[in-house]
Structure 1
Amino acid sequence: MKKRKIYLTSFFIALFLLFLAGCSQKSQEVPDKKVTVSLNNTKTIPTFFFHGWGSSVNAEKHMANAAKEAGAANTIVQADVSKNGTVKLNGTIPKNAKSPIIEVNLEDNQSGKTSYVKDVITAVSNKYHYAKINLVGHSMGNLQIANYINENYNNKKLPQINKVVSIAGHYNGYLGEEAGQKAKIKNKETGQPDIYSDGFKQLLPLRMHYPRQIEVLNIYGNKEDGSKSDGSVSVASAQSYKYLINGRAKSYHEVEIKGKNAQHSKLHENEEVDHLLIDFLWK
């Protein structure tokens, strides 16, 4: 009887330890979506890359690897975001990392959900406590970033955005939409378009509260085939970003990439874009 009690006690202790181990493992794979720590790492500024609609982390690798090869960064990790917003970080960022890069991979790559941007920034913030971050987007990734800023501009618990790079952003619609097809910039000084898409209207509050410390680089393509577009996004739609942040951003620069390598999906494989990113973000 005594032995039986000992066995039962040992059994329940073992179960309890297994439960604790399971909880510990789960907490590493499913970080709390709330920022629970102080953002006190002011020396290192990581850069997050967000891919476009129907794409994946593969669209970010050329640019990230170019930065590493140039010596601008020495650490690249991947953040996988599930459909429910769970973030799994693959790889670790050492304390002495130089300009670490986080390649974001969205499982739900056909959604414009902005919460994914917040999910991954929060997960990394909870683990590494970065006070400032850079954001780079391609195509739909830009709208997710813009909406993230629109919804969280006054959230002091999130890291401050230092620089934003927009690549092929369809802020006023893509070529399949009326505004994206027909809209023109009616005021070059302000970037105001003559037609607003529904998505553009949703971003108009940025004109009042876009964070003033952010430096912005807007890169877009023109295949020079008569379409005045990169094949998916018109030059005018990309340029309309200026109107949303005009007079608010710390700085704003536009660069038009021309020729066959300015095609929408080729922009993230373009050496000219690589150099622009490196010079703007890390020099």
Structure 2
Amino acid sequence: MWRKLVLFGGCLLVAVALFGSIKAYSAKVKDIDLSDTTPIVLVHGTHGTANSFNGMISRMTATYGKSTDKVIVLVKKDGTLEYQGTLSAKSKNPFIQIVFENNDAPIAQEAEWVDAVIKDIQKKYHVTQYNAIGHSNGGLALTTYAEELEDDSSPTMEKLVVIGTPFNDLDSDDNAATTDFVDVTNRTAELQKYIADSSNLDANLKVLSIAGDLESDSVSDGVVPVQSALASRLIFDSAVAEYSEQVVTGSNAQHSDLHENTTVDAIVAAFIY
């Protein structure tokens, strides 16, 4: 009984503290105008959490000095949004990290949640443009959003970085061990749809695709085949203003470590900033 009371009391204190922080945050939000800066929106992959991009955010903030402040937007299972952290009118290129409470949802659902967050930060922060970074399936969610849900009333996605994103799924039979290709071994239905819908992309968008290669043999990052990650060229190359690729090699190029890799940090920073 005592344990239950302690747990209940702890939960109550956390709830009170959280409510207080959200209330204080909401009071400040109406005064924030970020229309003159370019926030960086981040979307984690499957099973990702608020910790997924924390390291990259901290390193990039400290190393490059071109971003200040960060906020997490937690998308609850019912679609409601919970803000954690604060931004100010002086925030410069702040990081806005989207975190899905249901972190194993279908890509189409995640894209709808991205849309909800983009609309909300447009309303709350007067965001007019932003850059976006997606790891793994987070890159698919952002691509789906850009192709299917972004419209003329949306803030402009100026730059998109996809890191270890499986555009042609994970089967090695569909993805040959080569980076020098004009087409993948076999197009999955998902890839074919991304290609078909690429005409909906903003022609002014700039895209960077980063693949991981553990053994420098063009096979995979341990999860996503290199060719699947670079199948992004079939989607973006002829549809956007600028498309580029980078392959990061070595033991730190493992799929889950790509956003913890300082080489990736440098590549992303050079492109984003």
User: Which bin holds the TM-score, normalised by the shorter protein?
Assistant: 0.7 to 0.9
Q: CA deviation at 1:186?
A: 9.3
* Contact 2:198–2:239 (CA under 8 A) maintained in structure 1: yes
CA RMSD of aligned residues (A): 2.5
Q: CA deviation at 1:259?
A: 0.8
| 1:44/1:222 CA distance change after superposition, 3 Å | same
Distance 2:49 2:94 in 1: 19
Distance 2:211 2:179 in 1: 18
Q: TM-score, normalised by structure 1?
A: 0.79
Does residue 80 of the first structure (1) align with residue 71 of the second (2)?
no
- Hey, what does 2:267 align to over in structure 1? 276
Q: TM-score, normalised by structure 2?
A: 0.82
Distance 2:57 2:119 in 1: 21
- Hey, what does 1:255 align to over in structure 2? 246
* Contact 1:214–1:251 (CA under 8 A) maintained in structure 2: yes
Distance 2:183 2:39 in 1: 32
Distance 1:246 1:226 in 2: 24
Gaps of 5+ in 1: 1-24, 32-36
Q: CA deviation at 1:226?
A: 5.2
| 1:122/1:274 CA distance change after superposition, 3 Å | same
**Partner residue of 1:96 out of 86, 90, 93:** 90
| 1:100/1:81 CA distance change after superposition, 3 Å | same
Total equivalences in the alignment: 243
Gaps of 5+ in 2: 1-22
**Per-residue deviation, residues 60-112 of structure 1 (Å, max 9, x unmatched):** 11111112112121111111111122111112221121110011111010012
Distance 1:241 1:263 in 2: 19
Distance 1:221 1:201 in 2: 23
Does residue 148 of the first structure (1) align with residue 114 of the second (2)?
no
Single out whichever of 44-53 and 191-200 deviates more from structure 2. Answer: 191-200
Q: CA deviation at 1:42?
A: 3.8
Distance 2:56 2:179 in 1: 33
Alignment of 1:19-58 (within 5 A): 42-58=35-51
- Hey, what does 1:62 align to over in structure 2? 55
| Paired-residue identity, % | 27
Distance 1:83 1:246 in 2: 35
Distance 1:207 1:135 in 2: 17
| 1:116/1:195 CA distance change after superposition, 3 Å | same
Alignment of 1:1-283 (within 5 A): 42-70=35-63, 71-111=65-105, 112=107, 113=109, 114-153=111-150, 155-174=151-170, 177=171, 180-184=172-176, 188=180, 191-224=182-215, 228-282=219-273
**Per-residue deviation, residues 183-209 of structure 1 (Å, max 9, x unmatched):** 2399957x4323111221221233322
The structure whose Rg is larger is 1
Distance 1:162 1:229 in 2: 29
Q: CA deviation at 1:224?
A: 0.8
